[in-house]
Amino acid sequence: MSLLYSILKPIVRKVVKGSSLHQEESYEAFKQASYDVQKKFKFSLPRIKGFEFRDEPLDGFHIIVGKEAGTHPDKAVVYFPGGGSRRWQLPYKSSMKNYIRQTGAELWIPLYPLLPDHDLMEETEFTIRAHEKMLEKFRPENIVWLGFSGGADVLFQAGRHMVQKYPGLPMPGMMIPVSCSGLLMSDEAKQRMKKIDPCDPLLHWDMFETMVKYYDPNGDLPQYILGKADEDDYTGFPKIVMYFAGDEIFAGIAPDYEESFLRCGVKDYEIKIKPGMFHAWPVFTFTKEGRDGEREIIDDINVFFTNKRTEERV
């Protein structure tokens, strides 16, 4: 553990876990807190020397698309930003450069619909339409979906929605959900989360007991959109590389995901649990641990793309 990480971890525990995060006392408070953070966001395209960025508008929302200047990539990485579907936590510019330059891919960052003005089904349908838009340019096996925290849930929601409503739509070639959870958990998962809770500097094990009511205020969303790892259908999913931090409560859900992958016949999956790390750590590249996590994810992407090319030559 780096010195910076060892210093930050107890501070984050005191400032974040000890705050009112994810503990709003009413739906109105939840809505207001969401609006307060959203009004601070001002859309603009990144400006990075040697890179080109454009906006791909879709249904009134933005999709940031970046590539190295003068290149014409035939593959893409879709980065679903986290933020609990209440805000977009965009990657740092250094991370944008790394994902583009080190994979040779075009980077797509969808700014999907947010709560509370939109619901999770609208968020999911937007993701499907964005995927359809990408399929006009890229072969499905040349698309990687990468999501962090709430963005990982968006990614999995869309995949499960494709199983239910769009069975003829090709899946992306690979999915990398980092620190995902869904909103519903088995009793066994809750017990595992409760045991991890003292080590988690950010999240409370029982936070979703209340949050699910705010994310589905009308109670009309199907379970597969809310997400319940032990019961969801992952039939036909592509290669999955799933990451959890050892010190995040969501690691307690990992066994449920694995059981479902096996039940649904997912042929190629890997679940990586990183000891000592906290929720969505590869996003926070100002720490050594975050940089290491980002490099490992980029390695996963490059190995996947390389193997696909090898398969095509055989």
Measured between alpha carbons, how far is 31 from 211 in angstroms, rounded to an integer?
12
Which of 210 and 274 is assigned the larger pLDDT?
A: 274
pTM tops 0.85, yes or no? yes
Cβ atoms within 10 Å of 112's Cβ, excluding its own: 27
Arithmetic mean of pLDDT over the chain:
94
Question: Which amino acid type is present at position 132?
Answer: E
Examine the pLDDT at 210 and tell me if it is beyond 90: no
Examine the pLDDT at 31 and tell me if it is beyond 70: yes
- Rg of the chain (C-alpha set): 19
Q: Which domains does the chain have, with CATH numbers?
A: 3-313 (3.40.50.1820)
pLDDT of residue 18: 54
DSSP codes joined into one string, 3-16? HHHHHHHHHHIIII
Q: Residue 308: pLDDT band by 50, 70, 90 thresholds?
A: confident
Phi/psi for 44 (5° steps) reads -160, 150
Taking CA atoms, 29 is separated from 18, 40, 89, 226, in Å, by: 18, 17, 21, 21
Q: Residue 22: pLDDT band by 50, 70, 90 thresholds?
A: low
Q: Is 107 exposed, middle or buried (0-12, 13-18, 19+ CB in 10 A)?
A: buried
pLDDT in tens, 243-281: 999 999 999 999 999 999 999 999 999 999 999 999 999
Measured between alpha carbons, how far is 212 from 189 in angstroms, rounded to an integer?
16
Q: Residue 314: pLDDT band by 50, 70, 90 thresholds?
A: low
Measured between alpha carbons, how far is 291 from 298 in angstroms, rounded to an integer?
11
pLDDT in tens, 129-172: 999 999 999 999 999 999 999 999 999 999 999 999 999 999 99
pLDDT in tens, 55-81: 999 999 999 999 999 999 999 999 999
pLDDT of residue 245: 98
pLDDT of residue 89: 96
pLDDT of residue 207: 86
pLDDT of residue 3: 72
